[in-house]
A and B are shown apart, each in its own frame.
Chain A
């Protein structure tokens, strides 16, 4: 397993700033061959975007706080860690929306779980860490 890229991004906690996620991920996925990089980018951008928007919308971040992202890409895995100083958020407690029942909210975690291979959460002190791992060769979504 060879390290291909490692990177950090600091986001102001607003939706406009979250648009930087795609170009940030692309600097890493462009180091893969074209097809693998594009496939990985499309999954990762949406999953990381939803995770960050969840923090921005619901974590009640302290004044002046930012969202910190760390990325590590190897030949096998893309791992993105999202750090924030907001409220406790354990994704295991988030219910999955009822199938085929229209609701306006609650789809963010559903989308994340469908796109990534592993989701893990830790709370250390006052800091949340959400880790998303995507296998570089992933092609199947989970519904």
Chain B
């Protein structure tokens, strides 16, 4: 059997929500497909003052269904920027096993602090 198709790109826009959770902390909640297309937008959002001012950042990935190496790179940059200034990035684990697998394969699950649910008072 031969299928020769031209497949339209699937939709999968990443949505993000930001909440201030303290004088120097914030929560960024991501939902959807965190791939190379969306990593650019996440980097741009992380560069805006409300998030650059947040030394302690929680990134909630529970609703992220797919993440690739470009998504990981955006997370790595966020962590690097904060650790240079004594801050921190904490990740809330993706519920999707497929997304969580990427963290295990790259050992990002051992580099980042990963928790199962957002700390009290940080839900965006």
Which residues of A line the B interface, CB within 8 A? 3-10, 15-20, 22-24, 27-28, 42, 45-46, 49-50, 53, 57, 97, 99-105, 107-108, 110-111, 114-115, 141, 143
Contact = CB atoms under 8 A, between A and B. Distances in A.
Contacts of A97: 106
Nearest to A98: B107
Contacts of B80: 102, 104
B1 to A, nearest CB: 6
Given A5-B3, A46-B68, A105-B73, A100 B8 contact: no
A141 B68 CA distance: 16
5 nearest A-B residue pairs (beta carbon): A19-B9, A15-B36, A20-B7, A7-B3, A107-B69
A4 to B, nearest CB: 7
22 contacts: A5-B1, A15-B35, A16-B9, A18-B35, A27-B3, A28-B3, A42-B97, A46-B68, A46-B98, A49-B35, A50-B69, A53-B36, A53-B70, A100-B110, A102-B79, A103-B76, A104-B77, A105-B69, A107-B72, A111-B68, A115-B105, A143-B104
A111 B106 contact: yes
B34 to A, nearest CB: 12
Nearest to B70: A53
Nearest to B36: A15
In this complex, the member of B69, B76, B98 whose beta carbon has the largest number of chain A beta carbons within 10 angstroms is B69
A107 B2 contact: no
Contacts of B69: 50, 53, 105, 107-108, 111
Range for the number of chain B residues in contact with chain A:
35 or more
A100 B111 contact: yes
A103 B76 CA distance: 7
A27 B7 CA distance: 10
A37 B38 CA distance: 27
A110 B105 contact: yes
Contacts of A141: 101, 104-105
Interface string B8-44: 1110100000000000000000000101110000000
Contact of A24 (B5, B72, B77, B111): B5
B92 interface: no
Contacts of B4: 7-8
B52 to A, nearest CB: 18
B67 to A, nearest CB: 9
A86 B99 CA distance: 30
